[in-house]
Chains A and B, each alone.
Chain A
């Protein structure tokens, strides 16, 4: 089980959180007029990397706020958690 640091509440067990999948996916501003292929890219296509992954978490059984995390999908190491709107951290090299 992961130990996740909520930017507001501090380190808590994964059981308190809900995973919201890939982060930093912006809804197309002009959604009515983009092509079906572009809409599919927004709605369905995911990077799903084997490596560093930006993802969203919700502290469902805590402060109930959303935040972002930079986590490695092969080692599960969480390098950073940060509030929405914060600059996203660079993945370690």
Chain B
């Protein structure tokens, strides 16, 4: 009897890890798009997630707008934030030493987190009674509706981003700029516009993840820390710049983190993620699908 129970719990946990994995994947895709196009790691990526969650929260508490309805608003807003971040900050450090590049986005992280503390305080907020709520049972496994919707949404968006980059003309232009900025500009591609687009797109991805997450997850100033960290690790594991790599890595980490947290203890979540990172760095620094 006990054994059956353990198996059941394990399956339940694995499914939960899988669902989380797709959300991690979407967050990581946003990060990897930016890195792939311009070789810059956005250290504030997790905090973009946090801002999106608060965006959904504010629209809900002041105008009663359900996250499902506020989704396009928040995504459009974050697209703008991404573009502005590029225009005002990143474009100034493009040719600067790595030190300045790291500090530019790290400063943004500190700024956003401080602003969240200042405006919303350290309290945990949540969106009560969103349209997406409740749970259902499938093959004896209980799943929460908002989490399943979030996972499916994440999968769809990741697929769309992949399609956009691989199959559309604009996507090819992005790839061309990533490959060789000078050569691309000879072909008449405006690299400034492409960089802005990459930042907008990456931020929009993380915004979608944030809004979907706000349906069922607490909102607080440090909420982006864990998600941001997972995204860095997923991007390293998947290969810096690879969308499919980020997807696979996100799912792997989701399952590993939730299972590991369940088997060893939740306080080891960060440690597990960190150990995965170290393993990647030592064994396969190019990542699963990284280019040479």
Q: Do they bind each other?
A: no
Listed in ascending order, the chain B residues whose CB lies under 8 Å from chain A are: none
